[in-house]
Amino acid sequence: MNENVVVGDVVQINPDKDEVFGGCFMVVEEVKVWGFQGYCDMPSKDRGVFHYRVNREDCSRVGPAFWTLTEDE
């Protein structure tokens, strides 16, 4: 199911696999053999991100992100 995930896609983290990040959406920055690395956006006026790694079997592809954060944001 997650074999077509590419950089810039959004995946949703399985709520049964992570007590804190379960259910969150993550923008994929790197595709690895074991899974994906990316970030979950933290909405606030200071705007931050949480970097996260997730195994392929512990998330589901949602689709491409319309906007992504860049290093200078």
68 — pLDDT class (breaks 50, 70, 90): confident
- pLDDT value at residue 73: 47
Length of the chain: 73
Question: DSSP readout, 13-28?
Answer: E-TTT-TTTTT-EEEE
Of residues 9, 30, 17, 8, the one with CA closest to residue 59: 17
Residue spans of the domains in the chain: they are: 9-64
Q: Which residue is listed with tokens 């944001």?
A: 73
Residue % of the chain over a pLDDT of 90? 74
11: three-class secondary structure by DSSP: strand
Residue 1: C-alpha distances to residues 27, 52, 54, 68 (Å) = 17, 20, 14, 23
Pick the CATH number of 9-64 from 1.10.1240, 2.30.30, 2.40.30, 1.25.40: 2.30.30
Q: pLDDT, tens digit, for every residue of 9-37?
A: 999 999 999 999 999 999 999 999 999 99
- pLDDT value at residue 41: 86
Say yes or no to pLDDT of 72 above 80.
no
